[in-house]
Structure 1
Amino acid sequence: MQDFIFEVSTKILFGRDNLKKLSKEIKAHGNKVLICYGGGSVKRSGLYDKIVANLKENNIEYKDLAGIEPNPRIESVKRGIEIVKENNIDFILAVGGGSVIDCAKLVAAGAKIEADPWKIVLGEERVREALPIGAILTIAATGSEMDNLSVISNMDTKQKLAWGSKYVLPKFAIMNPEYTYTVPKYHTAAGSADIMSHTMENYFSLNDGCYMQDRMSEGILKTVINYGPIAYNDPENYEARANLMWSSSWAINGLLGSGKSTAWSVHAMEHELSAYYDITHGVGLAILTPRWLRHVLNDETVEKIATFGKNVFEIEETSDRFEDANKAIDALHKFFKEELNIPMTLKEIGIDETHLREMADATITHNGGNIMGFVELSSEDVYEIFKESL
């Protein structure tokens, strides 16, 4: 196990009755709030009205940044920064899922510089401070409420890129599973796949001695496999929603990757699909992951993939580890397709061969020339995985 530092200071307020504590948490950091949210679901559900009532009762001023996209765009970030600067906002409240929180993070950092915020994403502008952020989570998926990472899209340049800074780790997150009851089935499925993908990106590594982290990863995967279909079929099942919500936070807050050297492979590939086609992130991950595992299956990786099958899907071991590994990959594909009804080919979500080579090259370019993950991937490897996913 490698040396590491693990620190996550986000305060979690989990359960049904914590919204009443919102203003107290905000006032520990500021008193003029930018409320960030996406489409109309936050208002239709009544959550927005409850938030505003709480702020008004405690004399907290607020402005809105509405309409943040599912793959948040740099234009929304710039709108938010403009509102912040015009109104002397001192706190950012993200109400939604990972896309809203990711946008809020760049608004918080971008408000402290005079340069184009896209330069932060490109790594050309250093983040030295940011406005404090809080989150009210309405979908279990990205875990952005408890990490310092953000992913932003620039549709003009066909780039969807990740960046991070310790300064944008949320100060608190209010996590009420009831707020996820209205999440549509399609996005419940995509969110479940996203949680699993975060976990698997950390899990699939070699020779690192991280026994504890791997067993915790398997536990999170089994939790999603158990509760994902329940939430899909019974949207108001509190325990299912609660377990998915808590799993999403711990899949990506740094714990599972502690002591490992991991380069996320599937996310890098999916970001190009989203940048070109603006697809649902979790669906793209679900389509790519089994094909990626099949592509990287070799003498070195077979034992880890077979162990995944045994410990996560309870596949009985045989003397043929390659057979066991292939059964594990088949089980993952079947779970996504049959239990969560996720479309499992790129063609089903409107992607054909047109840009495959271009996206494969961009995947490698945007990741420094190679992907040193479970198995090193070249542009040709990515292209083959894309083709296998059609």
Structure 2
Amino acid sequence: MRNFVFHNPTKYVFGKDTVKKIGEEIASFGSKKVLLVAGGGSIKKNGVYDTVVDSLKKHDIQWVELWGVRPNPVLSKVREGIEIAKKENVDGVLAVGGGSVIDTAKAIANGVFVDDVWKLYLRKNPLKPTKALPIYVVLTLSATGSEMNGTSVITNEEQKVKWSYRSITNYPKVSIVDPTVQFSLPQRQTANGGSDSLSHIIESYITGKPTDTTVYFDEGLMRSIIDNIDRLMIDPKDYEARASFAWAATLAFNGLSLTGLGGDWAA
């Protein structure tokens, strides 16, 4: 077994009707005004947006919004968010969405404190972040595990490169995961999320010298993901299957599945 350090500071709030807790959680960390980052508008159709803003209002938290984050998030949207965050003097960033939205929020939260956010992602001599705005998450799509890890992946459209960086400053302060908000996902998105989660585990599972505890843990996660994705293809509103998959997807890339193994995704 390789030496490792496991440290994950994200508070993880899981279960039914937990989205309405986001205002309380943000207030507990002292933020008064947040930048709400979102994708294409599905959160308005499924009611998540209304639940979030009602909770923010209840706890006297102001917010401004950045919409239009797309899959494989781009640098130009990050820069747009940084400008809004600076102009509006926000003291937190709230991601309401899946991995692309969360990764964008992470980049914005770090980017307000550096002269050029892309320098954080450089392969050679990257800028090392020293601080970031608090990051908060309401997850709407289980796949990347970004809700409980320190990684952000962004595409630079001009340079046509997609790079990542890892930092303790990228970990969300709190992530809320209510499996019921994923009931309305298209089956293709659910299946893609399962494939994404599996890829994280397999990449480390086949790398380096096996260690029993982590290998058995990873095998259990893979079985859980496969079994529950199969169930969700039959019934997208199977709560136990949806909940089991959501938790497994988080565990697939929050650091535990990598301990002692190494691999490209190891922290």
Q: Which runs of 5+ in 2 are unaligned?
A: none
The offset of 1:8, in angstroms, is 0.8
TM-score, normalising length from structure 1? Answer: 0.66
Deviations 1:35-78 (A, max 9, x none): 11101101111110111111112211100011101110001101
Q: Which runs of 5+ in 1 are unaligned?
A: 265-390
The offset of 1:263, in angstroms, is 2.5
Q: Matches of residues 31-42 of structure 1 in structure 2 within 5 Å?
A: 31-42=32-43
Q: Tell me what 1:261 maps to.
A: 262
More helix per residue: 1 or 2?
1
Q: Tell me what 2:17 maps to.
A: 17
1 CA distance for matches of 2:2 and 2:127? 30
SS in structure 2 of the partner of residue 252 of structure 1: coil
The offset of 1:17, in angstroms, is 2.3
The offset of 1:116, in angstroms, is 1.7
Among 161, 167, 187, the alignment partner of 1:185 is 187
The offset of 1:171, in angstroms, is 0.7
TM-score, normalising length from structure 2? Answer: 0.95
Q: Which amino acid aligns with 1:227?
A: N
The offset of 1:103, in angstroms, is 0.5
Q: Tell me what 2:146 maps to.
A: 144
2 CA distance for matches of 1:91 and 1:44? 25
Q: Tell me what 1:92 maps to.
A: 93
1 CA distance for matches of 2:187 and 2:212? 34
Compared with structure 1, are the counterparts of its residues 58 and 206 closer, same or farther at alpha carbon in structure 2 (3 Å cutoff)?
closer
SS in structure 1 of the partner of residue 130 of structure 2: coil
1 CA distance for matches of 2:19 and 2:186? 23
SS in structure 1 of the partner of residue 203 of structure 2: helix
The offset of 1:240, in angstroms, is 1.1
2 CA distance for matches of 1:155 and 1:128? 26
Q: Report how many aligned residue pairs link the two structures.
A: 263
Give the aligned CA root-mean-square deviation in angstroms.
Answer: 1.3
Q: Which amino acid aligns with 2:263?
A: T
The offset of 1:256, in angstroms, is 1.5
- Larger Rg belongs to: 1
8 Å contact from structure 2 (residues 187, 233) kept in 1: yes
Deviations 1:212-262 (A, max 9, x none): 101110001101110112112311111111111001111011111111231
1:219 aligns with 2:220: yes
The offset of 1:156, in angstroms, is 1.7
Q: Tell me what 2:230 maps to.
A: 229
Report percent identity of matched pairs: 41
Q: Tell me what 1:302 maps to.
A: none
8 Å contact from structure 2 (residues 19, 48) kept in 1: no
The offset of 1:186, in angstroms, is 1.1
Among 125, 128, 135, the alignment partner of 2:127 is 125
The offset of 1:121, in angstroms, is 1.1
2 CA distance for matches of 1:158 and 1:139? 26
